[in-house]
Amino acid sequence: CYILAIETSCDETAVAVVKDGHEVLSNMISSQIETHKAFGGVVPEVASRKHVESITLMIEEAVTASGIPMKDLSAIAVTQGPGLVGALLVGVVAAKSLSVALSKPLIGTHHIAGHIYANRLVGDIKYPCMALVVSGGHTELVYMKQEGHFEVIGQTRDDAVGEAYDKVARSIGFPYPGGPHVDRAAMESDESIDLPRAWLEAGSYDFSFSGLKSAVLNVINQRKMRGETPIIGAIARGFQESVVEVLVTKAILAVKAYGVKQLLLCGGVAANRGLRTELQRKCAKEGIDLSIPPFEYCTDNAAMIGAAAYIKWREQYFTPLDMKADPQLPLEEWGSNNID
């Protein structure tokens, strides 16, 4: 089975060809980061226009690089949501057109299911499993009792972790997207400032990062008022330590409470070295089987969409052509036809 997958939910135009849900034959990404940098974040209208400009060429390149002729593709998968509606639409329209032109089934795919199934690109997933999703718009613990079945057991009540990284980064003067800069500064700093941890009520798998973000802003403002320069490294490290401790602790509690066979880390913030290292250390100590995708499959890409779409292909569950891009598409609902 050869799935052509398209991802345009945010600021990456990405197209891939994936064989049998796990073998990446081609994986093309055109990032708009340089365009959006000038604005300090993603500008939705600009993102849509850029997707329109590059989507056709990206599809051609991904198909050519895969070595699979168009006519031999099995299905066309596309991110249906969540994401920016105007950005999603470009991918959805392209996928529908290809689906009609080539007479191939369409598979509307969930972006976060894609992030989770990025783990399938590196090995088999052992069910039941728990996924820790850490991205620009999501921070969730997802329990999966079987393939394609999702139960969100905890989520952020305010900022997503990637969003908090980007806001803190901006406040200490790093360019967009700031996550990788904060990561580097944290790793290089010998000093760390003490910042709060948001545990919420006992037993809750929810997260909250806005208090931590405010605490960072307070430290910076207090230093400014005293005429001192911000201690960038110590702030970055203190922030990262707080984030990592909460994420790792809650993920491990969830793994134990649900008795799962494997923990999957995914989403753009899964590229964070501090988080990867600490999660690896704790899981090794606790005897937990941990899966982390390589860096290129953590941030947005289309190979992960091909991997998630494959769970629908296996059921021969296709999406009608009148499907609409859905900026709020719920994960549990998208997976629901995979329940026994």
Q: Pick what 138 binds: Mg ion, ligand ATP, Fe ion, none; C-beta below 5 to 8 Å, kind-dependent.
A: ligand ATP
Torsion sign across C-alpha atoms 65, 88, 293, 238: positive
- The residue range among 143-151, 194-202, 256-264, 269-277 that interacts with ligand ATP, by the rule CB under 6 A, is 269-277
Nearest distance from residue 271's CB to Mg ion, in Å?
A: 11
Give the per-residue contact string, 58-97, with ligand ATP (x = CB under 6 A; - = no). Answer: ------------------------xx--------------
C-alpha–C-alpha distance, residues 298 and 124, integer Å:
17
Strands (E), 183-312: 262-266, 290-291
Tokens of 325: 């891009």
Q: Kindly identify the residues of this chain, within the stretch 299-338, that bind Fe ion according to CB under 5 A.
A: 300
Q: Kindly identify the residues of this chain, within the stretch 292-331, that bind ligand ATP according to CB under 6 A.
A: 299-300
Q: State how beta strands 106-110 and 129-134 pair.
A: unpaired
Q: Binding site annotation covers 111?
A: yes
B/e letters for 151-165, b = 16+ CB within 10 Å, e = fewer, are ebbbebebbbbbbbb
Nearest distance from residue 153's CB to Mg ion, in Å?
A: 25
Residue 140 has φ and ψ, to the nearest 5°, of -145, 150
Name the residue nearer to ligand ATP (CB basis): 63 or 112: 112
Give the per-residue contact string, 109-148, with Fe ion (x = CB under 5 A; - = no). Answer: --------------------------x-------------
Q: Does 165 bind ligand ATP (CB under 6 A)?
A: yes
Q: Does 137 bind ligand ATP (CB under 6 A)?
A: yes
Nearest distance from residue 66's CB to ligand ATP, in Å?
A: 23
| Cα dihedral 19, 23, 25, 29 in deg (nearest 10) | 110
For ligand ATP, which residue of 36, 50, 104, 138 counts as binding (CB under 6 A)?
A: 138
Strands (E), the chain: 2-7, 12-19, 23-31, 75-81, 106-110, 129-134, 139-144, 151-155, 262-266, 290-291
76 CB contacts (<8 Å, ≥6 apart)? Answer: 3, 4, 6, 95, 98, 99, 102, 104, 105, 106, 107
Q: Binding site annotation covers 183?
A: yes
249 CB contacts (<8 Å, ≥6 apart)? Answer: none
Q: Binding site annotation covers 133?
A: yes
Nearest distance from residue 121's CB to ligand ATP, in Å?
A: 15
Strands (E), 37-83: 75-81
Q: Does 104 bind ligand ATP (CB under 6 A)?
A: no
Name the residue nearer to ligand ATP (CB basis): 30 or 74: 30
C-alpha–C-alpha distance, residues 233 and 276, integer Å:
19
C-alpha–C-alpha distance, residues 292 and 235, integer Å:
27
Name the residue nearer to ligand ATP (CB basis): 17 or 134: 134
| Opening angle at CA 89, ends 148 and 51, nearest 5 | 110
Q: Pick what 47 binds: ligand ATP, Mg ion, Fe ion, none; C-beta below 5 to 8 Å, kind-dependent.
A: none
Footprint of ligand ATP on this chain (CB under 6 A)? 9-10, 82-83, 111, 115, 135-138, 162, 165-166, 177-180, 183, 267-269, 271-272, 299-300
Footprint of Fe ion on this chain (CB under 5 A)? 135, 300
- Give the residue numbers of the binding site: 111, 115, 133-137, 166, 179, 183, 272, 300
- Give the residue numbers of the binding site for Fe cation: 111, 115, 300
